[in-house]
Structure 1
């Protein structure tokens, strides 16, 4: 008896009953968002602190501002070659994430830096309306 076949049938029955979007509600529980991010706000500024460990070169991270969204792309790969993974709490792998910002941000006034496994992106509120996007250059080191 193939137990996985029965699990697949069980999931199909739930999809038919609740609709295919039923599982979308559990995505953040079953598959946590990577990279993890904290967003802070002060007056007309936003500070995004993004947890991206294991970056050897800044070029591994693509960061873009697009009005109301901060888009991140890259890969988290921890250097543990030759070892068997027993417990995984630091999520690894490719990521492509769009973070919704509390308000539209300027594309021309952005500062980002990578320091000790964290990306700090400082954004400013846009008081003008524009539909452009801009790639963000990340610097290495301390402020």
Structure 2
């Protein structure tokens, strides 16, 4: 017969983690519906290698000239304004889930960026940003002297 030991402390910790997560989602949802902005828009993926970071950002329906990118030290800021679609007169909106309006997203990267060599490419609503690591921030191998 298999017995499972339940640790009440572990269950309580899991309960509070779940509670915090749900509370955060509810708060974000309420604020987003009231103020029309989300701290999680646009959605991004951030990948890092030893020498660079790659940020992929989804911005469907936008044009490259509607997006501003700024880099300072280890902070990447993406700012833009997505135009609302124009509706024909007499059209009533029953549900609106697609984001329209101004957004500002700032991401903290794990290293300082070489600002002179950042490359951004925008194709079919997908923004790809290559952010090379500053030379002075790259890890350096230390030689060991045998004594």
Same fold (TM over 0.5): yes
* Partner residue in 1 for 2:121: 113
Which of these two proteins has the greater Rg computed from alpha carbons? 2
**Cα gap change, 1:105 to 1:79, in 2 (>3 Å):** same
1:123 corresponds to 2:139: no
Where in structure 2 are there 5+ consecutive unaligned residues? 1-23, 33-37, 138-147
Conservation of the 8 A alpha-carbon contact between 2:83 and 2:101: yes
* Partner residue in 2 for 1:71: 77
Partner SS for 1:88:
coil
Query: Over aligned residue pairs, what C-alpha RMSD do you find?
Result: 2.4
Which structure features the higher share of strand residues? 1
Q: Which runs of 4+ in 1 moved over 3 A?
A: 25-30
Q: 2:60 aligns with which of 53, 61, 69?
A: 53
Rounded Cα–Cα distance in structure 1 between residues aligned with 2:105 and 2:122: 18
Where in structure 1 are there 5+ consecutive unaligned residues? 1-24, 130-143
Conservation of the 8 A alpha-carbon contact between 1:110 and 1:124: yes
Deviation larger for 81-90 or 47-56: 81-90
Conservation of the 8 A alpha-carbon contact between 2:84 and 2:101: no
1:87 corresponds to 2:95: yes
How far residue 45 of structure 1 moved from its aligned partner, in angstroms, is 1.4
Q: Provide TM-score, normalisation by structure 1.
A: 0.62
Partner SS for 2:117:
coil
How far residue 121 of structure 1 moved from its aligned partner, in angstroms, is 0.3
Q: Provide TM-score, normalisation by structure 2.
A: 0.61
Deviation larger for 76-85 or 58-67: 76-85
How far residue 49 of structure 1 moved from its aligned partner, in angstroms, is 0.7
- Map Cα deviations across residues 83-106 of structure 1 (whole Å, 9 max, x no partner): 433333332210122111121111
Deviation larger for 100-109 or 86-95: 86-95
